[in-house]
């Protein structure tokens, strides 16, 4: 199979060994870092310059699932995720990818970079874990009932983190500062199978999907406890 990456009026062909399960890309330096998860074989990293040329290709490990890419506060590109019974992140730059594992720990599903820290976020049962990469410390937040999934966003102007979590019958939006002090929490009686969150200055936007419709919530950043 051939994977095609479109980069501003040009494209790059990257021939893969097998079918693609997932592909992600982020800006890195003057170019891009592309992560490719194939259905078989190792995870691949492509370093692409601003001319669309693949200048380097690296591989991760066979049995690991990558959930996202992020640039940390030191400018290092990371791929994060988990395997059976552990969480990990790859430092995906020179001289070669370095894997850091945390065992036992739930896989890292999300990442949020603030002005001072990078948090890798995971969850298990009723608990959300925030792991601060700079200090290797973690915080936990417990919700009513077992969680189905989570999402996170950061609002630069107010320097606030917004955590979105949902269980079978409720959608929770939590507002935290950069040190993970809990400021506000709102509980909504919405049963969702998937949701996203974004925060820009005054407003927090939450998109969600139920079995019968798709909805959007627009919350003021000064929302009160629900």
SS3 content of the chain, % helix, strand, coil (to 5): 0, 60, 40
Query: Are residues 129 and 109 in contact, defined by beta-carbon separation less than 8 angstroms?
Result: no
> Rounded to the nearest 5°, which phi and psi values hold at 79?
-115, 130
> How far from each other are the two terminal CA atoms of the chain, in whole angstroms?
49
pLDDT at 133: 87
pLDDT at 2: 45
Taking the C-alpha atoms of residue 22 and residue 3, their distance in angstroms, rounded to an integer, is: 11
Strand ranges for 29-142 from DSSP E:
31-38, 44-48, 54-59, 65-71, 77-83, 86-91, 98-102, 110-113, 118-124, 127-132, 137-142
Do strands 137-142 and 98-102 pair parallel, antiparallel, or not at all (unpaired)?
A: unpaired
Taking the C-alpha atoms of residue 55 and residue 78, their distance in angstroms, rounded to an integer, is: 18
Strand order in the sheet with 127-132: 110-113, 118-124, 127-132, 137-142
Taking the C-alpha atoms of residue 102 and residue 133, their distance in angstroms, rounded to an integer, is: 12
pLDDT at 139: 94
Structure tokens given for 19: 């079918």
Mean pLDDT by 10 residues, the chain (226 residues): 51 59 79 77 77 76 76 87 83 75 89 93 94 89 92 91 91 92 88 88 86 86 61
Residue 179: how many CB atoms within 10 A of its CB?
A: 11
pLDDT at 1: 42
pLDDT at 81: 87
pLDDT at 176: 93
Structure tokens given for 93: 């730059």
| Element holding 133 (H helix, E strand) | none
pLDDT at 108: 93
Helices (H) and strands (E) in the chain, counts: 0, 21
Which residue is associated with the tokens 């937040």?
Answer: 141
């Amino acid at each position: 199979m051939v994977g095609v990456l479109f980069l501003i009026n040009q494209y790059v062909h990257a021939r893969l060994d097998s079918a693609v399960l997932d592909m992600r890309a982020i800006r890195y330096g003057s170019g891009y870092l592309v992560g490719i998860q194939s259905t078989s074989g190792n995870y691949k990293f492509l370093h692409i310059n601003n001319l669309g040329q693949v200048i380097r290709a690296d591989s991760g490990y066979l049995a690991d699932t990558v959930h996202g890419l992020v640039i940390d506060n030191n400018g290092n590109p990371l791929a994060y995720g988990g395997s059976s019974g552990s969480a990990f992140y790859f430092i995906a730059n020179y001289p070669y990818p370095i894997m850091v594992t945390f065992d036992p720990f739930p896989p890292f599903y999300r990442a949020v970079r603030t002005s001072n820290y990078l948090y890798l976020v995971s969850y298990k049962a009723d608990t959300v874990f925030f792991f601060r990469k700079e200090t290797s410390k973690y915080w936990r937040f417990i919700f009513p009932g077992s969680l189905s999934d989570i999402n996170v966003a950061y609002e630069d102007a107010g320097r606030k983190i917004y955590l979105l979590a949902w269980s079978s019958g409720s959608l929770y939006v939590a507002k935290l500062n950069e040190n993970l002090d809990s400021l506000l929490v709102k509980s909504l009686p919405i049963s969702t199978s998937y949701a996203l969150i974004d925060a820009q200055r005054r407003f927090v936007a939450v998109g969600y999907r139920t079995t019968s419709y798709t909805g959007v919530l627009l919350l003021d950043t000064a929302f009160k406890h629900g």
